[in-house]
Amino acid sequence: MPEAAAMTNSGRTTRKIPRIRRAETTRFTVDDQKGYLTTADAEDGSVGEVTIRMAKQGSTLAGMMDALGAAITLGLQAGAPAEVYVSKYSSMRFAPAGRTDDPELPMATSIMDYVARRVALDCLPPERRVGMGILTAAERTALADEVAGWVDLPGLAMSAPHELHR
């Protein structure tokens, strides 16, 4: 059996995450909520762990984001591709939502939307993200220059100001 896999009690193979691993932490703000997104690499170099910590500990939102990170991590370690989570959680709409402090993702429709699109930008190559409409500002500009008449509708929608109906 390869080193990057281990058998569970149920006989399924899971990807191992090294005890010492490379990780990247991004501080973010969505609306007025501050948090930290950490992605860590599995032995094969793909994303294998996602941790989401909100600055306001003890809140329902912080607990839900901790649980979301744990659920994503379990799925990734069981072999689910990151694209599954990105496509499921990007564009989810609920409060808190609004402006972010991330120049690549200036607007988010929810914290889940921000996390999914940030994971995509940090962990997926452009050719896998282009079909999902998740591109950096430089990639959007290059694609617009390359393809005459191409308009980044998801990018425009995410950067357009909008009001939440509360």
Top-confidence residue, 106 or 160: 106
Contact 4, 43 (CB under 8 A): yes
- Phi/psi for 118 (5° steps) reads -70, -40
Confirm whether 23 is domain-assigned. yes
For 94-146, write each residue's pLDDT tens digit.
999 999 999 999 999 999 999 999 999 999 999 999 889 999 888 888 877 77
pTM: 0.81
DSSP string computed for 109-140: SSHHHHHHHHHHHHHS-HHHHGGGT---HHHH
Confirm whether 165 is domain-assigned. no
Q: How many CB atoms lie within 10 A of CB 68?
A: 19
Kindly state the average pLDDT of the residues 71-90.
96
Contact 110, 97 (CB under 8 A): yes
For 37-65, write each residue's pLDDT tens digit.
999 999 989 999 999 999 988 899 999 99
Exposed / middle / buried, residue 147 (Cβ in 10 Å: 0-12, 13-18, 19+): exposed
Confirm whether 36 is domain-assigned. yes
Confirm whether 164 is domain-assigned. no
**pLDDT at position 109:** 97
Count of structural domains, the chain: 1
Q: Which domain holds residue 13?
A: 5-159
**pLDDT at position 144:** 75
